[in-house]
Amino acid sequence: MTTPEPVRVSVWGELRSERKLPGRTAPVWRVLVGGQHAGAFERDGAVWRAEHQARTLGRITETEHASADEALARVLRSGFARTLGARAASRVHWTDRARRAVTRAGAR
C-alpha cells in the first residue's frame, strides 16, 4: 500500500504571485494534495460550499456542508483527490492564514 499524500489547505491569494478571485469578497480555501489543486471550499452564509471533481477535467460538483471540516472531508473523498493520493489517513496542514480565516468565518 502506498503512503497517503500530504494535504495542504491555504487561502486563495495567499501566495505573492496569486491574484484574488474576481467577484469574491469572502475567502476561498484551496485544497492541495501532493502540491496539486484538488478542490476548494468557501463559506456562503450559514453553509460551507465545497467544490470538487470526480475525475480530471470532469464537471465541478458543489455540495453544502455544516462545517469547514466536513467540506474539506468531502473534497478529500472526491475521485480526483483520491487519484492524486488523498486518503482518510492523509495529514492535513492548515496554513496560518487559512486557520485564522476559517476561525473568523465560523465554526470549524
pLDDT of amino acid 48: 92
pLDDT in tens, 36-64: 989 999 998 889 999 888 777 667 888 99
pLDDT of amino acid 59: 79
Query: What DSSP state is assigned to residue 30?
Result: E
Residue 53 falls within a domain, yes or no? yes
Q: How many domains does the chain have?
A: 1
pLDDT of amino acid 27: 85
Residue predicted with more confidence, 99 or 107: 99
Backbone angles phi, psi at 57, to 5 degrees: 60, 20
Which segment of 4-18, 20-34, 42-56, 64-78 scores lowest on mean pLDDT? 20-34
Residue 56 falls within a domain, yes or no? yes
Q: Shortest CA distance to 48 belongs to which of 24, 31, 23, 29?
A: 29
HSE, CB side, 13 Å, CA atoms: give it for residue 41.
Answer: 29
Q: Which domain holds residue 98?
A: 7-15+27-105
